Amino acid sequence: MKRRNFIKAGAVGLASPILLAGKKKIKVNKNNPIVISTWLHGIPANEVSFKILNKNGSALDAVEAGVRIAEADAENQSVGLGGRPDSEGNVTLDACIMDSNGNAGAVGFLENIKHPISVARKVMEETDHVMLAGKGALKFALSNGFKSENLLTKASRKGWLEWKKDNRIKDSWGPNDDHDTITSLAQDNDGNLSGACTTSGLAYKLQGRVGDSPIIGAGMYVDNEVGAAGATGMGELVMKTCGSFLVVELMRQGYSAMEACNEAIDRIIRQEGGKTKLQVGYIALEKDGSVGYSSIQKGFQYALYKDGVNKLHDVKSIF
């Protein structure tokens, strides 16, 4: 159903969204693996993911392995090792992962562990919980064989010390530089979907701040019947609109991946009273293999590996 018809249907009252849910017939894309990831660091992540998918690996293994590349990259100052710290100089990491069976795992406010995404996967696979945070998450990671290490690199420490001298410069480290949260969505040969999202969050945030990235349905969401979506940018705006869940749910109700991303961005802008200087970007991967993307401001990029080509694309902003 086209967006306009959907809105019309919605206007007649109770009839609509629920009745529409699930009515859309989606062709499943099989034997044609796809990975889509946020930002430039999505390119090397996609490479690793695609190798796994090409060997008939699962979408879950693919997204985990892909984002681990960004987490281990000390030069990347927005994910894992080398991430920009909070206002007190602590690198605190958020991540979540979701598989094609609706299983989910997440960690928030995790310190000293380079690969939060793999801890999130352990939470998903080894516990009855979805999310562990802070000291408990660290304890869980250490008891599962993860190594404790200092994640604050010289470069990130230097940036933090400069910010402390004059914290007005924090505006130049907004969520729109080309090293940001990595969210990665993949579809494997069987047509199954999975997603992963990992970040050090906003630079110089208040201690204890947790963003959208580890929140299932905000930073990332997978519904294997319909599609997957993920976010980057100002997490507070994403959380307040349940962003990734919204994108997936709109696809369930008939929006294309692109229409769903645009509507979710539009929802934020409306909630912000029609304008905002902040950035949010969404990516989406529908079960039929089509992709969507949208952002509030210009500058957002996504990396798409499809039909044997891994390419970085610029997103036209809403503003």
Active site positions, annotated: 181
233 binds ligand ASP (CB under 6 A): yes
CB of 155 to ligand ASP, least distance (A): 18
φ and ψ at 165, to 5 degrees?
-65, -40
CB of 21 to ligand ASP, least distance (A): 28
212 vs 223 by CB, closer to ligand ASP: 212
Q: x/- site string to ligand ASP, residues 4 to 23, per CB under 6 A? A: --------------------
Q: x/- site string to ligand ASP, residues 145 to 184, per CB under 6 A? A: ------------------------------x----xx---
Closest CA to 230 of 254, 250, 213: 213
| Inter-residue contact 39 to 302 (CB < 8 Å) | yes
201 vs 292 by CB, closer to ligand ASP: 201
310 binds ligand ASP (CB under 6 A): no
| Element containing residue 196 per DSSP (H, E) | strand 193-199
53 vs 67 by CB, closer to ligand ASP: 67
CB of 68 to ligand ASP, least distance (A): 18
Distance CA 274, CA 72 (A): 38
57 binds ligand ASP (CB under 6 A): no
User: What is the residue whose two structure tokens read 């796809």?
Assistant: 34
**Which of 259-262's residues contact partners 24+ apart within 8 Å by CB, and which partners?**
259/3, 259/292, 260/229, 260/284, 260/292, 261/229, 261/292, 261/293, 261/294, 262/292, 262/294, 262/318
Q: Which range binds ligand ASP by CB under 6 A, 23-31, 228-236, 250-258, 300-308?
A: 228-236
Q: Where are the alpha helices (DSSP H) in 12-153?
A: 16-20, 42-54, 59-72, 116-126, 134-143
Distance CA 85, CA 5 (A): 47
66 vs 175 by CB, closer to ligand ASP: 175
* Site size for ligand ASP (CB under 6 A): 13
53 vs 231 by CB, closer to ligand ASP: 231
Contacting ligand ASP within 185-214 (CB under 6 A): 199, 201-202, 211-213
Distance CA 302, CA 38 (A): 4
232 binds ligand ASP (CB under 6 A): yes
**Which of 143-149's residues contact partners 24+ apart within 8 Å by CB, and which partners?**
144/119, 146/113, 146/115, 146/118, 146/119, 147/113, 147/114, 148/112, 148/113, 149/81, 149/112, 149/113, 149/114
| Inter-residue contact 49 to 66 (CB < 8 Å) | yes
CB of 64 to ligand ASP, least distance (A): 19
CB of 105 to ligand ASP, least distance (A): 18
Q: Which range binds ligand ASP by CB under 6 A, 17-25, 79-87, 226-234, 292-300?
A: 226-234
CB of 110 to ligand ASP, least distance (A): 13
Contact footprint for ligand ASP (CB under 6 A): 175, 180-181, 199, 201-202, 211-213, 232-235
